[in-house]
Structure 1
Amino acid sequence: MSIVLYELCGADAARPFSPFAWRIRMALKHKGLDFECRPKPFSEIPAIAPEAGKTVPILVDGDRTICDSWAIATYLEDTYPDRPSLFGGEGGRAAAKLIEGWVNASVSSLIAQLIIKDIWDVLGPDDQVYFRETREARFGRSLEEVQSGREDRLAEMGTALLPLHLMLKSQPFIGGEAPLHTDYLLFGTLQWARITSPFQFIDPSLPVGQWRERCLDLFDGFGRSVPAA
């Protein structure tokens, strides 16, 4: 039985955009595992595997169902040790956990405020109602107000990405000469923005922009299989 990955999509099922699911898409490619993607809108996700969780990604591998991108990545590493390592050892696994925390806390939160209304635009009608209600409650403002003036906040994104910018001056990937899961953790978040929003906040001429292009080229251009917004 093929591995099945449930992920998030908007009105167009051919444009899955969950940052967490993209982390696992890349991890599965890294491991060289065959898998089937099943994109679902927000409204259908809670019914997929309620005993495992109510958010994507959800991975089904035989009789195992795993929810949460970090849990899935560690499952893949431990279950398929004969395949290329996602972490490059236990030290790499620990470092990846640090990168995950940095991306989730410092990068994703900034990106969300730059593209929040654009995400709403790509959703189906039912999901638009859910997304507006939940996100406006979270931010305490309308989606339009959150996203307004985003051009003036680009410096904040530059500051958040500065450690990566400095690292990538001397090596092609966060993982070193070749990518590891540390790369996919951030790449998934940038894919989320690339697929849902036309707003450009990464300078392609800078090290981070060049790194993103290298990630898009991985696995025969797998990241480019979904065109940019």
Structure 2
Amino acid sequence: MTILLYDLVGQDAARPFSPHCWKGKMALAHKGLDISTVPTRFLEVPSVEGGISQTVPVIRDGDKVVVDSFAIALYLDETYPDRPTLFGGEGGKAMARFIERWSQLTIHPYVTTAALVDLHAMQDEENAAYFRQSREKRLGKTLEGVVATRDAGLTAFRTALEPLRSTLSYQPFIGGAAPLFCDYIVFGALQWARVASPYPLLEDSDAVAQWFARCLDLHGGLGRQVAAA
């Protein structure tokens, strides 16, 4: 049975950009499951599956609806244990929780700073108005005022990735010899930036950039199916 994935997009339905939806998409591919994506814009999210969530991803697997990328990964491992594991056991789940917190506190704020205006430009008129109003209220600045600080913060952002960089000097993936859901968490954040903005977060020689390239190649090059901005 094909699993439905509600996937956040802007004006161009072929350019999904949400970091959380990318996590879910990579998890489904890791499991080798057939999916059908439902392109969903910001203002359409509250109507997904009868209003079950204010955010995506949301999946429908038969009669089961699951909300939130981490919950989706847990569901997939529990429901399809005969397929490749996303966590490698309870310790892997706990480690992935740490990686999720680290990514959302370290990577997400800077991607927001770097890509906010570009993300706004991806939306149609109605969704762009919503995006500007909601983000400016949340951040207390204009979108342009936020992005004006990105150059000043770039060096600090790259330095903050040193724990990941150091880990990748020992192994090709965060999960070890092969990727696990923890890899898809960080991949989703960097894919968000790649799809939304041409602003260069990383130098090509960076071990993190090289790991990201390996992740783009996973599952038949799933990440590369959407071109970089």
TM-score (norm 2): 0.98
Percent sequence identity over matched residues? Answer: 49
Which residue of 1 is the match for residue 121 of structure 2? 121
Q: Which runs of 5+ in 2 are unaligned?
A: none
Q: Does residue 191 of the first structure (1) align with residue 199 of the second (2)?
A: no
1:164-209 Cα shifts (integer Å, max 9, x gaps): 0111112110011110001000001111110010101111211101
Q: Which runs of 5+ in 1 are unaligned?
A: none
Q: Retained in 1: the 8 A contact 2:172–2:178?
A: yes
Name the amino acid aligned to 1:24: G
Q: Retained in 1: the 8 A contact 2:45–2:53?
A: no
- Residues in 1 aligned to 2:208 and 2:78: alpha-carbon distance in whole angstroms: 30
Which residue of 2 is the match for residue 65 of structure 1? 65
Name the amino acid aligned to 1:104: Q
1:42-65 Cα shifts (integer Å, max 9, x gaps): 111110124521210010000011
How far the C-alpha of 1:153 sits from its partner, in A, is 1.0
Residue 161 of structure 2 aligns to a residue whose secondary structure is: helix
Which residue of 2 is the match for residue 29 of structure 1? 29
Q: Retained in 2: the 8 A contact 1:77–1:85?
A: yes
Name the amino acid aligned to 1:12: D
1:89-141 Cα shifts (integer Å, max 9, x gaps): 11111100110111112211121111111100111111110010010011111
Please identify, of 154-163 and 55-64, the stretch whose mean Cα deviation from structure 2 is larger: 154-163
Name the amino acid aligned to 1:103: S
Which residue of 1 is the match for residue 217 of structure 2? 217
- Residues in 1 aligned to 2:220 and 2:2: alpha-carbon distance in whole angstroms: 21
- Residues in 2 aligned to 1:84 and 1:91: alpha-carbon distance in whole angstroms: 16
How far the C-alpha of 1:160 sits from its partner, in A, is 2.1
- Residues in 2 aligned to 1:209 and 1:144: alpha-carbon distance in whole angstroms: 27
Which residue of 2 is the match for residue 130 of structure 1? 130
Structure 1 stretches of 4+ moved >6 Å? none
How far the C-alpha of 1:228 sits from its partner, in A, is 0.3
- Residues in 2 aligned to 1:204 and 1:25: alpha-carbon distance in whole angstroms: 25
1:136-175 alignment, distance < 5 Å: 136-175=136-175
- Residues in 2 aligned to 1:79 and 1:142: alpha-carbon distance in whole angstroms: 44
- Residues in 1 aligned to 2:139 and 2:53: alpha-carbon distance in whole angstroms: 24
Q: Retained in 1: the 8 A contact 2:15–2:195?
A: yes
- Residues in 1 aligned to 2:186 and 2:93: alpha-carbon distance in whole angstroms: 15
- Calculate the aligned-residue CA RMSD, in Å: 0.9
Q: Retained in 2: the 8 A contact 1:6–1:58?
A: yes
